[in-house]
Amino acid sequence: MPAMRREGVFYLFALPFAALTILFGLWPILLSIQVSFTDSATALQPAPAWVGLANYRAIFADPVFLAALVRTLAYTVLAVAANLSFALAFALLLDSALIGRGRLFFKLAVFLPVVTPDVAGYVVWRWLYDQSFGAVNAALRLLGLPAFGGLASPRTAMLALLIAELWHHAGFYVLIFLANLAILDRAQAEAAQIDGATALQRFRHVTLPQLRPAMAVNLVYAVIQFLKTFTAVVVMTKGGPADATNFVSFYAYQQFDSAQYGQATAMATVLFAIVLLVALTAYRGAERGRA
């Protein structure tokens, strides 16, 4: 009996955590998936009308959704490549023997945006791009460079968004690379140097393979991060101009806002499936790497 009571205490400890997980994690997800199989007009009623896969058929026949899906995937690839290559380059620079004093300052400068509320950061960026108030075009004029369309032009809006998001997120990836660089085996690089390997060869064959753990973590985080891009769109572009930044998450939210609950939750489920696929693939890859 005392043994059972002893075990029971652990269930008591876990109870609040379990309650929150069920109430605000699992239940809403199940509810969302359930709504995706019902008719929007009746979705919130006690006895919703089941429509099978009709919502899924509808969204995959919707050219706006398909374009948003392709755009989301393309943006994710671009944003991940830009963020991780910048972060790797900057981390290597800070880790190199060339930088001694001031290292902490450089680290803090790129990490401060990570803990800055994203709404505040993106509001500032929205105005930095502004044609009359903004500093971006004023700076380009000063340097004698052509003007940047920023958020106003469909051709540059995605790039403008990507730069602002890089500002907000890249510091995190820099930190992960730095943590990995700090535990690198320096003896290997020195041995390679004595053997006459060039700096580039040492980087490719000695440093880069040892950075695999950080690369894997950053890749998973960044892919999931940019697949879900939402706040930047809400604050800076509202999906425009001319749908140039209309990503799946924003489009789904718009559908929900206009009471298309069935289709909105179907889109959410599709995005969830993609995120889950990425996460599981990465997880299995990491397990294999460890074995």
Partner 1 sequence: MRRAPAWARGLAYAAATLVSLLFLYPYAWMLSSAFRSTRDILAAPLALWPANAGTDAFASIREAGGVSLARAILNSLAITGASTLLAVAVTALGAYALTRRPHAPAFRLLRAGFLLSMMYPYMLLVIPVYLVMFKLGLLGGYTGIILFLSLGPVQFFLFEQFFRTLPLEVIEAATVDGAGEAQILFRVILPMAAPVVATVATITFLLNWAQWFPVLVISATPDTYTLPVALLALNGELGTNFQGIMAMALVTTVPPALVFLAAQRHVMGGLTEGAVKG
Q: Of residues 67-126, which lie at the interface with partner 1 (CB under 8 A)? A: 90, 93-94, 96-99, 102, 105-121, 123-126
- Of 65, 148, 172, 226, the one binding partner 1 by CB under 8 A: 172
Exposure on the CB side of residue 70, measured as CA atoms within 13 A:
8
- # binding residues, partner 1 (CB under 8 A): 94
Give residues 234-273 in contact with partner 1 (rule: CB under 8 A).
234-235, 249, 252-253, 256, 264-265, 267-268, 271-272
Give residues 12-31 in contact with partner 1 (rule: CB under 8 A).
13-14, 16-18, 20-29, 31
Q: How many residues in the chain? A: 291
Task: Select from 55-63, 77-85, 194-202, 230-238 the region that touches partner 1 (CB under 8 A).
Answer: 230-238
- Minimum distance, C-beta of residue 28 to partner 1, in the bound complex (Å): 4
- Minimum distance, C-beta of residue 162 to partner 1, in the bound complex (Å): 15
Task: Select from 51-59, 144-152, 196-204, 222-230 the region that touches partner 1 (CB under 8 A).
Answer: 222-230
* Tokens representing residue 178 in the block: 């730095």
d(CA 289, CA 267): 33
- Of 227, 237, 245, 262, the one binding partner 1 by CB under 8 A: 227
Task: Determine, following the binding rule CB under 8 A, whether residue 47 of this chain makes contact with partner 1.
Answer: no
d(CA 291, CA 177): 22
* Strand partners for 38: 50
- Minimum distance, C-beta of residue 239 to partner 1, in the bound complex (Å): 14
Nearer to partner 1, 11 or 61 (CB): 11
Task: Determine, following the binding rule CB under 8 A, whether residue 200 of this chain makes contact with partner 1.
Answer: no
Task: Select from 9-17, 52-60, 144-152, 197-205 the region that touches partner 1 (CB under 8 A).
Answer: 9-17
Nearer to partner 1, 74 or 119 (CB): 119
Task: Determine, following the binding rule CB under 8 A, whether residue 231 of this chain makes contact with partner 1.
Answer: yes
**Placement of tokens 């052509």 in the chain:** 146
d(CA 120, CA 122): 6
Asked whether the beta carbons of 216 and 289 are under 8 A apart, the reply is: yes
Task: Determine, following the binding rule CB under 8 A, whether residue 203 of this chain makes contact with partner 1.
Answer: no
- Minimum distance, C-beta of residue 38 to partner 1, in the bound complex (Å): 12
Q: Phi first, then psi: what are they for 141, rounded to 5°?
A: -60, -45
Asked whether the beta carbons of 172 and 221 are under 8 A apart, the reply is: yes
d(CA 38, CA 110): 46
- Minimum distance, C-beta of residue 204 to partner 1, in the bound complex (Å): 20
Three-state SS at 198: coil
| Among 136, 117, 114, residue whose Cα is nearest residue 125 | 136
* Tokens representing residue 229 in the block: 């891009």
| Among 225, 109, 105, 254, residue whose Cα is nearest residue 165 | 225
